[in-house]
Amino acid sequence: MIINHPLLGPRDSEEFVYLGSADLIDRPDWESRTVADDFHQYQYIRENIAGDNRELWYHEQGDQSWLLVTRNTLTHEIINVELAQDVSRSMGRGK
């Protein structure tokens, strides 16, 4: 596969390490009332998506960016590639 890195352009997927669902960005608040449930969901519960899946890839053999890759799990078409830190910020995560 080829991942179109937002900063470096098209790169072979061999340069990357796959992590999993981009939901991992959305780490729950440790002080929430439902913290036990929240973390259980966060850590273990995953949709097995047949279609567009948002997932995290790490450019280990490259610039060490974490990328959010939107990939169709049926066709392997890559629809979108973003820097995970931009997405994280846009989701309201900061410090």
Partner 1 sequence: MSQINRIDGGLIDQEKPVSFTFNGQLLQGYEGDTLASALLANNKHLVGRSFKYHRPRGILTAGSEEPNAIMEVGSGAYKEPNTRATVTKLYKGLYAKSQNHRGPLEFDFMAVTDFFSPLLSAGFYYKTFMWPKAFWEKVYEPAIRNSAGLGTLSKEADPDTYDKGFRYCDILIIGAGATGLSAAITAAQSGAKVILADEDFVMGGRLNSETNEIDGLPGSEWAIKTVAKLSAMDNVTLMTDTTVFGAYDHGIYGAIENRDVEARADKDKPRQVNWRIYTKRTILCAGATERSIAFGNNDRPGIMLASAVRTYLNRFAVSVGQRVSVYTNNDDGWKTAKDLFNKGVNVVAIVDSRSIEPVMRVAGAQIFMGTDVVGTKGRRAIKSIKLSNGKTIETDTLAVSGGWNPNLHLTCHHRGVPKWNEELATFVPDSSAPVGMSIAGRAKGTMVLADAIVEGHNQGSAVAAELGYKASNSDPASTPIVAYNISAQWSVPSGNNRAWVDFQNDVTAKDIKLANQEGFRSVEHVKRYTTLGMATDQGKTANVLAIGIMAENMEQTMEETGTTIFRPPYAPVAMGAFAGRRRGMEFYPTRYTPSHKWSAKQDAIFVEVGMWYRSQWFPKPGETHWRQSVDREVKQTRSSVGICDVTTLGKIDLKGIDVSEFLNRIYVNAFAKVPVGKTRYGLMLREDGMAMDDGTTARLSENHFVMTTTTANAVSVYRHMQFCHQCLWPDLDVHMISVTEQYAQYAVAGPNSRKLLQKIVDPEYDISNEAFAFMAAGEITVCGGIPARLFRISFSGELAYEIAVLTRYGDSLMRVLMEVGEEFDAIPYGTEALGVMRVEKGHAAGPELNGQTSAYDLGMGGMVSGKKDFIGYTLGLREDLQRDDRLQMVGFKPVNKNDLIDKGYSLAGAHLLGLRDDATTENDQGWISSSVYSPMLGCYIGLGFIKGGQNRKGECVRAVDLVRGSDVEVEICSPHFFDPEGERLRV
Give the Cα separation of 55 and 19 in Å (integer): 7
Pairing relationship of beta strands 17-21 and 52-58 according to DSSP bridges? antiparallel
Q: Does 27 bind partner 1 (CB under 8 A)?
A: yes
Q: How far is the CB of 25 from partner 1 (least distance, A)?
A: 5
Give the Cα separation of 35 and 40 in Å (integer): 8
Toward partner 1, which CB reaches closer, 49 or 82? 82
List, as own/partner pairs, every contact residues 39-46 make where C-beta atoms lie below 8 angstroms and the sequence separation is at least 24, other chains included: 46/20, 46/21
Q: Print the binding letters for residues 66-85 with partner 1: x by CB under 8 A, - otherwise.
A: x--------xxxx----xxx
Q: Residue numbers of the site for partner 1 (CB under 8 A)?
A: 1-2, 12, 17, 19, 24-25, 27-28, 30-31, 35-36, 39-40, 42-43, 56, 58, 60, 64-66, 75-78, 83-85, 88-89, 93-95
